[in-house]
Amino acid sequence: LNLENKPKQFFAYKGIIVHSISRHELEIINPGVLIVDEDGTIVETGKDVDFHSYPNVIIHDFKQKIICPGFIDLHLHLPQYEFVGLGSEQLLSWLKKYTFPAEKRYEDEAHARAAIEVFFNELLHYGTTTAAVYPTIHRKSTDLAFGYAAHSGIRLIMGKVNMDQNAPDFLLQDIEQNVSETLDLIDKWHGFNDGQLQYAVTPRFAITCSSDLLTELSAIAKDKNTYIQSHLAENRDELKSVKTIHKNHDSYTHIYADHGLLSSKTLMAHCIYLSDEEIDLIKETNTTPVHCPTSNRFLQSGIFPLREFESKGINFGIGTDVAGGYEISLLHEMKEVIEMGKMYNILNYTNPQPTITMEEVMYYGTLGGAIAIGQEDRLGNFQKGKEADFIVLDDDTINPYHEFDNYQTVSDRLYRLIYRSSKESIQSVFIKGKRIR
Ligand SMILES: [Zn+2]
C-alpha cells in the first residue's frame, strides 16, 4: 500500500445549510452541501458543488435536515450542573446555599470524575462545540476536567477558580497556592489539542478576590497570554458588597480595569448594571460581556441592556450560566435572549427597542461568539478554510402538525427549533470534521 499516492479524502454533508454571515444576515442554502477535507477543514460550501473536483469523497445525506455551525456557550459552571433548576434565592444567598457546598465535593476525585463526564457529554448532546467553563478551585478536579474535555473533542476555555476571601474556608486558598496551581495547569493545558483547549485565568469575582490576588492573576494572564474570565455587575446586593470590599476604585468595572484584567481576551459575565463610563471602559479595552438571560431572570438579577451594547459596537457572547441558568441548551438560551429583550420592552414601554430576531440569536450563538473570543478565523460559520464544527438539527418531533405544510420555511423551522427544542433536536455533532455523536 503506497500511502503517498493515496488521493486526499473528502467528506460531503448534504442538507439545508444555515450559517451567519453577519449580525443580521443568515445565509440559507437549500439544498446545500458542505465539503470537508480529511483534516477537518471546510473546503467548500454551496448549492452546486462539482463532485468531479473530489474524486475520493464520502457523502452523508441529511436530506431536509438543517445543518448549522456548532454552538458557542461563553459562560457556565461545571460543578453547578448537579443542582440545576434548584433554588429561589438571589445570587449571594444562592451561592451560599447551593453553590459552595456543591463545589466542595470536587475535593473528592471519584465524585469529580463522574460529574465531569456527565457535564461534557450533556453539553455536546445539546450541540455546544465550544464552551467557556468555570470548574472549582481544586487543581486536581480542574486537571480531570481538561483531560476529559480533550478526550471528548470539545473546544474549551477554562481555568481553575481563584478565591482568597469572602467564601467558606474550604473554598479559599492563599495567594501562593492560587498562583502555583494556576501556573501548573497553564503549563499542562493551555493550547493543548492544537489549540482546542485554552486556559482562562479565573478570578471568580471581585468579592472573593483580594487586590493582591487580582494583581498576581493579571500578571499571569499577560505573561502566558491566556484568556481571563470573571463576573461583573450581576446583582444589586453584589454591587453594594463590592463597594465595601474594594474601596479605592471609581466603579466595579474599574476594579478589574485598575488591575489590568480587562482585555480583548477577557469574558465578563452579566454586565447588567454599568454606567455609561463603565460601558466605555468595556469598549476601550475590547472586553467581551457575556449575556446570560435565563440566569438573570432565575436569580432575579436584572436585564442586560443588549441594544445599548450593540449600538456602541461592543461584541458580546451568550452563556447558559448553568446553574444560575436552568438549561444547558444554547437553543434554549437563544430563546431567552429574545424573550428577555421583550421583557425589557415591557418595562421600558416608553422607549422600546427593536425585538431581537432569530437571525440575531443564531449569530450570537455561533459567529458572534467566535468573534467574541477572537477565534473567527477558525470558527463560527462555514467559510472556506475554517474548521468544520457543525450540528444537524432534527425538528420532526417538535412540530405538532408536521403532516401539514403551512409553516415549513427554513426560517419557520429555525424559530420553532429555538422555541421548542429538546435534547432529541440535536441529531449529530461534528467538531473539526470529526463526528462526536
Ligand atoms: Zn456565572
User: How far, in Å, is the centroid of ligand 1 from the Cα of 422?
Assistant: 23
User: How far, in Å, is the centroid of ligand 1 from the Cα of 436?
Assistant: 27
User: How far, in Å, is the centroid of ligand 1 from the Cα of 345?
Assistant: 25
Other beta carbons within 10 angstroms of residue 33's beta carbon come to: 20
The mean per-residue pLDDT over the stretch 302-307 comes to 97
Q: What pLDDT score does 204 carry?
A: 98
- How far is CA 11 from its chain centroid? 28
User: How far, in Å, is the centroid of ligand 1 from the Cα of 323?
Assistant: 8
Q: How confident is the model at residue 397 (pLDDT cuts 50, 70, 90)?
A: confident
Q: What pLDDT score does 1 carry?
A: 54
User: How far, in Å, is the centroid of ligand 1 from the Cα of 60?
Assistant: 39
User: How far, in Å, is the centroid of ligand 1 from the Cα of 368?
Assistant: 20
User: Is pLDDT above 90 for 6?
Assistant: no
- Among candidates 420, 230, 199, which has minimal Cα distance to 327? 420
Q: What pLDDT score does 383 carry?
A: 98
75-95 pLDDT, tens digit per residue, is 999 999 999 999 999 999 999
User: Is pLDDT above 90 for 34?
Assistant: yes
User: How far, in Å, is the centroid of ligand 1 from the Cα of 147?
Assistant: 22
Q: How confident is the model at residue 269 (pLDDT cuts 50, 70, 90)?
A: very high
Give DSSP secondary structure letters for 186-210: HHHHTTTTTTTEEEEEEE--GGGS-
Task: Give CA torsion, residues 260, 377, 18, 397, to 10 deg.
Answer: -60
Q: What pLDDT score does 302 carry?
A: 98
User: Is pLDDT above 70 for 428?
Assistant: yes
**Per-chain mean pLDDT for the chain:** 96
Q: How confident is the model at residue 3 (pLDDT cuts 50, 70, 90)?
A: low
Compute CA distances 352 → 24, 71, 273, 276, 355, whole Å. 19, 29, 19, 19, 8
Peptide bond into 114 cis (omega under 30): no
User: How far, in Å, is the centroid of ligand 1 from the Cα of 184?
Assistant: 24
User: How far, in Å, is the centroid of ligand 1 from the Cα of 321?
Assistant: 5
Q: How confident is the model at residue 403 (pLDDT cuts 50, 70, 90)?
A: confident
The mean per-residue pLDDT over the stretch 219-232 comes to 98
Q: How confident is the model at residue 102 (pLDDT cuts 50, 70, 90)?
A: very high
Planar angle of CA 167, 213, 275, nearest 5 degrees: 80
User: How far, in Å, is the centroid of ligand 1 from the Cα of 206?
Assistant: 13
Question: Of all residues in the chain, what percent carry a pLDDT higher than 70?
Answer: 99
User: How far, in Å, is the centroid of ligand 1 from the Cα of 299?
Assistant: 11
User: How far, in Å, is the centroid of ligand 1 from the Cα of 76?
Assistant: 6
- Among candidates 194, 197, 177, 176, which has minimal Cα distance to 186? 197
The mean per-residue pLDDT over the stretch 340-362 comes to 97
The mean per-residue pLDDT over the stretch 46-57 comes to 93
356-366 pLDDT, tens digit per residue, is 999 999 999 99
Rounded distance between C-alpha atoms, residue 24 and residue 10, angstroms: 32
Question: Which grid coordinates are listed for 11?
Answer: 467528506
User: How far, in Å, is the centroid of ligand 1 from the Cα of 98?
Assistant: 13
Pairing status of strand 26-37 against strand 42-46? antiparallel
Q: How confident is the model at residue 19 (pLDDT cuts 50, 70, 90)?
A: very high
Q: What pLDDT score does 404 carry?
A: 77
Rounded distance between C-alpha atoms, residue 69 and residue 365, angstroms: 9
User: How far, in Å, is the centroid of ligand 1 from the Cα of 77?
Assistant: 6
User: How far, in Å, is the centroid of ligand 1 from the Cα of 41?
Assistant: 33
Q: 158 near 124, Cβ under 8 Å? A: no
User: How far, in Å, is the centroid of ligand 1 from the Cα of 197?
Assistant: 20
Q: What pLDDT score does 328 carry?
A: 98
Q: 139 near 147, Cβ under 8 Å? A: no
User: Is pLDDT above 90 for 401?
Assistant: no
User: Is pLDDT above 70 for 221?
Assistant: yes
The mean per-residue pLDDT over the stretch 232-251 comes to 97
Question: Which grid coordinates are listed for 8?
Answer: 486526499
User: How far, in Å, is the centroid of ligand 1 from the Cα of 324?
Assistant: 7
137-181 pLDDT, tens digit per residue, is 999 999 999 999 999 999 999 999 999 999 999 999 999 999 999
User: How far, in Å, is the centroid of ligand 1 from the Cα of 314?
Assistant: 20
Rounded distance between C-alpha atoms, residue 393 and residue 228, angstroms: 32
User: How far, in Å, is the centroid of ligand 1 from the Cα of 348?
Assistant: 26
User: How far, in Å, is the centroid of ligand 1 from the Cα of 54?
Assistant: 46
User: How far, in Å, is the centroid of ligand 1 from the Cα of 429?
Assistant: 26
Q: What pLDDT score does 7 carry?
A: 84
- Fill in the amino acid letter for 149: A
Q: What pLDDT score does 48 carry?
A: 87
User: Is pLDDT above 80 for 2?
Assistant: no
User: How far, in Å, is the centroid of ligand 1 from the Cα of 316?
Assistant: 15
Question: Which grid coordinates are listed for 100?
Answer: 459552595
Q: How confident is the model at residue 405 (pLDDT cuts 50, 70, 90)?
A: confident
User: How far, in Å, is the centroid of ligand 1 from the Cα of 38?
Assistant: 37
